[in-house]
A and B are shown apart, each in its own frame.
Chain A
């Protein structure tokens, strides 16, 4: 199945119009010729084949990586795709992080595990087009037909053995009209894709090179930290900055909006000045506490009306006629994103332009928000991307960029704003807290005839995913949500909503399977068969792909065959990928020890095996750690957790063994930055139940009543 794909100017114009709503060209290959740039030295002529690819005469293949890199491996995986179709020598590939450029790239963001499906074909075409042009250039040079040529490892090779390197051909290739059709490889012929390629920034990372936003320093730059209200729902009443201003190294103290910025010459001097800064706050909106939310959740769950997200059949009748009804509730707390690199950004607002440098998942949003705030055109704002020391969704927001720009304008100087860990945890944004009520109706044979879910959340929006499993497999179904608006700011947190919904749902289905006297895996498979034979309403997931990960993880984990181990199962579809997990718990001297987690993932074609395995292992560790320990609670609007001393993150000796498998199906790839996280909490809770008979309904697990007196063992 070789793919012939057309790349005409019209196609790209059309594509740009539909994707961006404005005239956005995805590639500059829509120009009729590739561009030649002189990189300083007159002799060095680099040829830019398109926005992703440039080839130098000395065979350096520069591949530009447009999306922000925060640990999801995109800066390695994406260039691999270009290099594959180009048949480049990976050792000669030099990857460069591209700055924000809305003319060259669309969707230059990291979020929703969406970059891979979005860019897969674009990247392939970028490589394949250049390869074809290089081959045509060689054909012309040797005066032979292009069909007598092959390309391999950075060379065009004639059947008689003659060969020329890409670098030697690049200048000629620049004169070849950009082909309107290119042939993409048959995935069976991939040489680089599917192998384990080490991160392109490994050397820089292990030697401590300046890569991150916080590492950005510039001559004459000032440092700043911002004191934000300590409690949500409060505003500044008065500021007394006299003592702070008098300290050495402090340049200024500036109040704007609800912020008091201390500007100085070094980070530590600012940190010290903050201690003597006196700011009084007063009430501005609702002041909420976690105890209020607990009460509110119960009220909302019993409220007669809610937003109906999906309704199939007749749930009232189904529950009336049920032989068994199971009703359970699950609650998750607020979480901090807590990327290891705290928020920071450099901004320099000049007379007629703005320079922004730092870690952001959405450079375009940062740019537009800054332009809007300053009342200037977005094209006056440049955004340079550093590597991100984690993101987890926190850096999808532009608040910390905009405030840096606002401050730079106020003080008329280049400035880097750094958040302390406490600022990040107490005044940032959180995963919303949510509570769910699930109800299932079983008939006398143990078939699920009715299913109800109501999600209630604090600034969670729609806390359900109404078209996910088991929707489509149940005749009578009702899914509703209610959202409470709160001054506590929330935002997308790695695998938004599903990071908790999956636990609740998969733990619930485990109980339902038990009540139906069915094996939990078999129970899911039967539901999926039913959805396949007689689907009810819209189904967002692929039934066969869901089954394939279930079967793979059951096989690899020896599901149901292990005598001394309690196994817990979970499967979830999110962000277009499928992941099933089995957690194993062993009872050791009367206490459960989490030994191992098996994962089977279907993300289609695996681009970088090393990166993909990392994403699954990291997602599992993240899902486990937060299910066990994570929570931010509020007292009178203020977060009670301030730093890693009381906001517990999972550590080295607390992770079980993890075994990762992928379904090999040749389907176009989808993302993997998020999908491995959602199933973990459910698999672990179900295994703990199997081992101890104790059901976990709320997170964090270790603080629950059910875990009192239970010593959960965790061991690497």
Chain B
């Protein structure tokens, strides 16, 4: 066990966990931030996607020891009122079915649009291809990314 202090959603959090503990389980089990989901644990499904200094990363495969001073943003911290353009678009397009994958989808889309507010279809595909939706909401994900992009311009 080791003591870590990490920056999550604008706050500093202290935890005492083994150094190889994935950020995903720190968020869920230690910090009660359960919006970040477990789907595969091997960086294949994207359900656990969070931002590390604004970049989308798979928190299931990122040990706590690798976080250092980086800023972690989870779905809970994406916006204060839940009104980030991507969150708005997701609701307007009515994307979720079961909804389990959607926090990860939203975090991937938000990271993409922050860096590139007007992505091409291929750029959207590259960013979203790492996020599996078992319910098959891909058409609406596409629609929502395009809508969010128009909101962010």
Contacts and interface: CB of A to CB of B under 8 A. Distances in A.
Q: Which of A272, A342, A391 has the most CB of B within 10 A?
A: A342
B39 interface: yes
A653 B125 contact: yes
Contacts of A391: 98
Contacts of A199: 94, 96, 99
B29 A71 contact: no
A206 B29 contact: no
B37 A206 contact: no
A259 interface: no
B38 A208 contact: no
Given A208-B75, A215-B34, A390 B42 contact: no
A440 B21 CA distance: 60
B40 to A, nearest CB: 5
Nearest to A69: B98
B94 A390 contact: no
Contact of B75 (A207, A618, A651): A207
Interface in B3-39: 17-18, 20-22, 25, 28-30, 32-39
Interface string A357-395: 000000000000000000000000000000111111000
Interface string A198-214: 11011101111111101
Interface residues of A, number: 65
A644 B44 contact: yes
Contacts of B103: 205-206, 208
Given A618-B135, A621-B138, A388 B44 contact: no
A594 B23 CA distance: 39
A209 B132 contact: no
Contacts of B92: 198
A206 B90 contact: yes
A70 interface: yes
Contacts of A205: 96, 99, 102-103
Contact of B140 (A70, A388, A390, A614): A614
A73 B133 CA distance: 16
A685 to B, nearest CB: 19
Contact of A202 (B20, B34, B91, B141): B91
B21 A610 contact: no
B135 A268 contact: no
B29 A340 contact: no
A389 B99 contact: yes
A339 interface: yes
A528 interface: no
Interface in B35-76: 35-42, 44-45, 47, 74-76
B39 A421 contact: yes
Given A421-B39, A652-B125, A268 B138 contact: no
Contacts of B131: 652
A516 to B, nearest CB: 35
Contact of B44 (A201, A211, A342, A645): A645
Interface in A202-251: 202-203, 205-212, 214-215, 217, 223, 248
Interface string A612-639: 0010011111100100000000000000
A614 to B, nearest CB: 6
Contact of A210 (B34, B74, B87, B128): B34
A649 B34 contact: no
A376 B133 CA distance: 40
**How many of chain B's residues touch chain A, expressed as a range?**
35 or more
Interface string A157-170: 00000000000000
Nearest to B131: A652
Contact of B134 (A268, A338, A619): A338
B111 to A, nearest CB: 15
Nearest to B91: A202
Contact of B29 (A267, A643, A645, A650): A267
B34 A214 contact: yes
B98 A341 contact: yes
Interface in A148-196: 196
Contact of A643 (B18, B44, B78, B101): B44
Given A420-B41, A652-B129, A212 B28 contact: no
Contacts of B42: 421, 643-645
Interface string B72-106: 00111010001000010011101011111111001
B29 A266 contact: yes
Contacts of A515: none
B41 A649 contact: no
Contacts of B34: 208, 210, 214-215, 217
Nearest to B100: A389
B94 A208 contact: no
Contacts of A340: 37, 39, 45, 47, 98, 100-101, 132-135
Contact of A267 (B25, B33, B47): B25
B137 A614 contact: yes
A387 B132 contact: no
B29 A268 contact: yes
Given A338-B134, A653-B125, A653-B129, A202 B96 contact: yes
B96 A342 contact: no
Contacts of B98: 69-71, 339-341, 387-391
B153 interface: no
Contacts of A390: 98, 100, 134-135
A643 B44 CA distance: 8
Contacts of B90: 202, 206
Nearest to A338: B134
A610 B39 contact: no
B93 to A, nearest CB: 9
A617 B1 CA distance: 47
Given A214-B38, A268-B25, A389-B37, A644 B94 contact: no
A643 B75 contact: no
Contacts of B138: 621, 651-652, 655, 716
A102 interface: no
Contact of B35 (A207, A645, A716): A207
Interface string A334-357: 000011111000000000000000
A269 interface: yes
A392 B44 CA distance: 20
B139 interface: yes
Given A208-B36, A214-B34, A645-B44, A617 B136 contact: yes
A658 interface: yes
Closest 5 CB pairs of A and B: A208-B35, A621-B136, A389-B100, A71-B98, A208-B75
26 contacts: A196-B94, A198-B91, A202-B90, A206-B103, A207-B76, A207-B82, A208-B33, A214-B34, A267-B25, A339-B98, A339-B134, A340-B37, A340-B45, A340-B132, A341-B98, A342-B39, A387-B98, A390-B100, A418-B38, A421-B39, A618-B97, A644-B44, A649-B132, A650-B136, A657-B139, A658-B139
Given A271-B41, A614-B140, 11 more contacts: A198-B94, A266-B29, A269-B18, A338-B134, A339-B100, A340-B45, A340-B101, A387-B98, A387-B99, A617-B136, A652-B141
